[in-house]
């Protein structure tokens, strides 16, 4: 039994390691962020590029005003390893994005994960 | 017993995945960690041969939390301290705020140059032997180097180049030594902002430990900047991919890196 648990733990660790997002390309210390927030919005552009890909989305506030966010994630090689692609988002898609917003207060941040309308999550 | 069988089957499946990775497909981005780790040296390698497609894995990328992998940087000279103070890198002990960054590669789109091409974003590589040279074809920035093996000596007083001037020789049947001089000091040694002078000399040791593995050690020798030689890659394994693997084009185009700088990095500035 203990062998089985050990084997399961090793396999789980291997899978976790292989799946772990290479967080931000730059260390957290270099990108001044304040905690994490979730934003929901409509994709206006998905920029598949290096060293960071960028998701732009319109986010409607409680007062009805729309704020244009630009949130960054990893480079295309690391994203490809994790199942992302150039075609993952298209304008008009509704997405929910967990981000680390910039401390500056500007509508920019680093993506932690994105959930599509069908519930599929990418990180 | 059943556990052992199951574990063996899983290991075999992962290994099979790795050996098939990228075969007859396009734009292979590199091995996932589990696939990389499952590849073992295998049988004895062919003598004096590095031919093939190879993946340095996560250690090759050496960004973020992987930055320190295999690095033991030597103390700076006075000139070295002066030079490093100008650099605002995104990784390592001198990391700057992202809006202050002045990494020539990631904020301006300059070439990696050598030795940075093997110290950062070292993604899958194809190695080709010709009668008088070994060609290193890097998927990162679609960049190549020619390592001359025709017996020539390094140039005495070279005009500095981004990738320097390289000559190679076999120390024995499994160890290929590359000596490089003449690199422009506009490049960094790696993503940590470690500088070098135009007097830098770099030695790479490619030791093929099996049919599926090459171990790379890189020594940085620049007495103007560092008080002694230091190792930037310490027996880093490169693991073999199927020969017909087509690599993802991982290019840092100037328009893209400056786009990120303007769209995101500049807006993170706090008062």
Confidence at residue B23, expressed as pLDDT on a 0 to 100 scale: 58
Q: Chain A partners of B102 at a C-beta cutoff of 8 Å?
A: none
Confidence at residue B112, expressed as pLDDT on a 0 to 100 scale: 97
Interchain CB distance below 8 Å, B90 and A81: no
Residue located via tokens 């007495």: B223
Distance from CA of B251 to the nearest CA of A (A): 7
CA B177 from centroid of its chain's CA atoms = 16
Confidence at residue B196, expressed as pLDDT on a 0 to 100 scale: 98
Picking from B15, B26, B55, B98 by the largest number of A CB atoms within 10 A of its own CB, the best residue to mutate is B98
Nearest-Cα residue of chain A relative to residue B267: A106
Confidence at residue B67, expressed as pLDDT on a 0 to 100 scale: 78
Confidence at residue B71, expressed as pLDDT on a 0 to 100 scale: 79
Q: Select from A22, A29, A108 the Cβ nearest to the Cβ of B63.
A: A22
Interchain CB distance below 8 Å, B270 and A52: no
DSSP state, residue B266: G
Q: Chain B partners of A14 at a C-beta cutoff of 8 Å?
A: 14, 33-34, 37
Nearest residue to A67 (alpha-carbon basis) of A109, A36, A34: A109
Instruction: Render pLDDT for A65-111 as a digit per residue (tens, 0 to 9).
Output: 999 999 999 999 999 999 999 999 999 999 999 999 999 999 999 99
Give me the interface pTM, i.e. the ipTM.
0.87
Q: How far apart are the first and last CA of chain B?
A: 64
Interchain CB distance below 8 Å, A77 and B91: no
SS (H, E, C) chain A: CHHHHHHHHHHHHHHHHHHCCCCCCCCHHHCCECCCEEEEEEEEEEECCCCCCEEEEEEECCCCCEEEEEEECCCHHHHHHCCCCCCCCCCCCEEEEEEEEECCCCCEEEEEEEEECCCCEEC
Distance from CA of B76 to the nearest CA of A (A): 23
pTM, to two decimals: 0.86
Distance from CA of A8 to the nearest CA of B (A): 9
**CA pair distance B145, B151, nearest whole angstrom:** 17
Confidence at residue B270, expressed as pLDDT on a 0 to 100 scale: 84
CA angle B141, B146, B152 (to 5 degrees): 155
Confidence at residue A20, expressed as pLDDT on a 0 to 100 scale: 35
Identify the contact set of chain A against chain B, taking CB-CB distances under 8 A: 3-4, 7, 10-11, 14-15, 17-20, 22-27, 29-32, 47, 49-52, 54, 70, 72, 75-78, 80-81, 102-104, 106, 108
Tens digit of pLDDT at every position of chain B (271 positions) = 455 555 544 444 444 444 455 557 899 999 999 999 999 999 999 999 999 999 999 999 987 767 776 677 899 999 999 999 999 999 898 999 999 999 999 999 999 999 999 999 999 999 999 999 999 999 999 999 999 999 999 999 999 999 999 999 999 999 999 999 999 999 999 999 999 999 999 999 999 999 999 999 999 999 999 999 999 999 999 999 999 999 999 999 999 999 999 999 999 998 7
Q: Is B153 left (phi over 0), alpha (psi -120 to 50) or beta?
A: beta
What are the φ and ψ backbone dihedral angles of A86, each rounded to 5 degrees? -60, -30
Q: How many Cβ pairs closer than 8 A exist between chain A and B?
A: 119
- Which of the two residues, B38 and A14, has the higher pLDDT score? B38
Confidence at residue B43, expressed as pLDDT on a 0 to 100 scale: 97
Distance from CA of A112 to the nearest CA of B (A): 15
- Supply the mean pLDDT for chain A: 83
Nearest-Cα residue of chain A relative to residue B123: A77
Distance from CA of B248 to the nearest CA of A (A): 7
**CA pair distance B85, B96, nearest whole angstrom:** 11
Confidence at residue B63, expressed as pLDDT on a 0 to 100 scale: 74
């Amino acid at each position: 039994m203990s062998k089985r648990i050990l084997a399961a733990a090793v396999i789980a660790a291997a899978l976790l390691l292989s799946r772990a997002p290479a967080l931000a390309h730059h260390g957290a210390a270099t990108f001044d962020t304040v905690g994490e927030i979730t934003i929901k919005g409509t994709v206006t552009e998905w920029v598949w590029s290096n060293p960071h890909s960028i998701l732009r989305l319109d986010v409607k506030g409680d007062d009805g005003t729309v704020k244009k966010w630009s949130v960054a994630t990893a480079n295309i090689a690391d994203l490809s390893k994790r199942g992302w692609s150039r075609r993952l988002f298209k304008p008009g898609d509704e997405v929910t994005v967990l981000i680390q917003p910039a401390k500056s207060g500007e509508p920019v941040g680093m993506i932690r994960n994105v959930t599509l309308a069908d519930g599929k999550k990418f990180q | 017993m059943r556990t052992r069988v199951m574990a063996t089957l899983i290991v075999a499946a992962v290994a099979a995945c790795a050996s098939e990775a990228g075969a007859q497909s396009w734009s292979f981005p590199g091995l996932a960690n589990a696939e990389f780790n499952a590849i073992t040296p295998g049988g004895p390698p062919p003598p004096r041969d590095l031919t093939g497609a190879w993946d340095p894995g996560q250690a090759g990328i050496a960004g973020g939390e992987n930055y320190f992998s295999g690095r033991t940087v030597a103390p700076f000279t006075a000139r070295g301290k002066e030079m490093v103070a100008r650099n605002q890198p995104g990784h390592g002990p001198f990391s700057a705020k992202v809006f202050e960054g002045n990494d020539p590669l990631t904020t301006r789109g300059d070439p990696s140059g050598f030795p940075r091409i093997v110290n950062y974003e070292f993604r899958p590589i194809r190695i080709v032997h010709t009668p008088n040279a070994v060609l290193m074809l890097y998927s990162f920035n679609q960049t190549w180097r020619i390592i001359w093996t025709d017996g020539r000596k390094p140039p005495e007083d070279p005009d500095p180049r981004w990738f320097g001037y390289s000559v190679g020789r076999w120390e024995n049947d499994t160890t290929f030594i590359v000596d490089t001089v003449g690199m422009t000091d506009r490049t960094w040694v790696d993503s940590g902002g470690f500088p070098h002078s135009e007097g830098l000399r770099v030695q790479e040791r490619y030791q093929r430990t099996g049919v599926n593995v090459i171990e790379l050690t890189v020594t940085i020798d620049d007495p103007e900047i560092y008080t002694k030689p230091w190792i930037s890659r310490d027996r880093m394994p490169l693991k073999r991919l199927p020969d017909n693997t087509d690599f993802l084009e991982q290019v840092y185009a100037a328009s893209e890196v400056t786009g990120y700088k303007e769209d995101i990095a500049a807006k993170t500035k706090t008062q």
